[in-house]
Amino acid sequence: MRYFRAWFVLLLLGASAHAATLKPGLYEGLMLAVAPDGTVQGHYLELQGEGPSKRCSFFLAGPSSSGRVRINSWSAVGTMEGTLSTHGDDVLLSIQGGRDHDGCGMVLLPLIDISLPLSKVADGAWTQLRVVRDTRLFFHASPQASAKRQGYLVRGDVVGISQEVEGWALAEFVNRTTGRRTSGWLAADGLAALDASRSQAK
């Protein structure tokens, strides 16, 4: 069924103007942040199997655009160029050789080379993505050290940022296995910006 949907989308591409604006949210395995100027950042994560599962993970980023963005994607194996565009409420991701990204050979559909349709499954308010660099980074109920909560993230977790206040970031973590979403304030110095010069995926 997914193959039929994908090829049907491809047939429509020739007549599509891609006028819509990319919006933040979760598009199947892609967590997408969109800055006020239209710049996009994304993290693709897809897990298959139980126990020692297959894990496909890479990051992407691109400059401002009305509906079709030229992106750079990267993982431990290197950097690859591609495009990200809108199609209704969904997105189309194209990365030539994308299955060569870390762990993606047996996970991503071959359509990634042409145009892989990803359906929107959840809204987001993220303007950027950050990667946890501390061994443990605790959530806080408010942007102050005394408001520490029990929940925490670990090094390599990816979060969406919607607000920043003097050393603190209002962040949301989405568990890609269960879909559970956790939000709160994180100390900004425990987070790293996306960096294509080095692998940041767990």
26 burial (CB, 10 Å; 0-12 / 13-18 / 19+) is: buried
Mean pLDDT of 166-187: 95
pLDDT at residue number 3: 44
Domain extent listing, the chain = 2-123, 128-193
C-alpha dist (Å) from residue 129 to 32, 166, 200: 8, 18, 12
pLDDT at residue number 48: 85
Measured between its terminal Cα atoms, the distance across the chain in Å is 31
pLDDT digits (tens, 9 = 90+) for 68-113: 899 999 999 999 999 999 989 999 999 999 999 999 998 999 999 9
pLDDT at residue number 201: 55
128-193 sits in which CATH class? mainly beta
pLDDT at residue number 199: 58
pLDDT at residue number 17: 43
Write down the pTM of the prediction: 0.87
What six digits make up the tokens of 71? 């992106």
Residue holding tokens 């996306």? 194
- What's the whole-number average pLDDT of the chain? 88
pLDDT digits (tens, 9 = 90+) for 16-69: 444 478 999 999 999 999 999 999 999 999 988 776 578 999 999 999 777 789
Mean pLDDT of 173-198: 92
Report percent pLDDT > 90 for the chain: 75
More confident site: 135 or 198? 135
pLDDT at residue number 68: 86
**Band of pLDDT at residue 202, cut at 50, 70 and 90:** low
Mean pLDDT of 162-191: 96
Report percent pLDDT > 70 for the chain: 87
> Residue length, the chain?
202
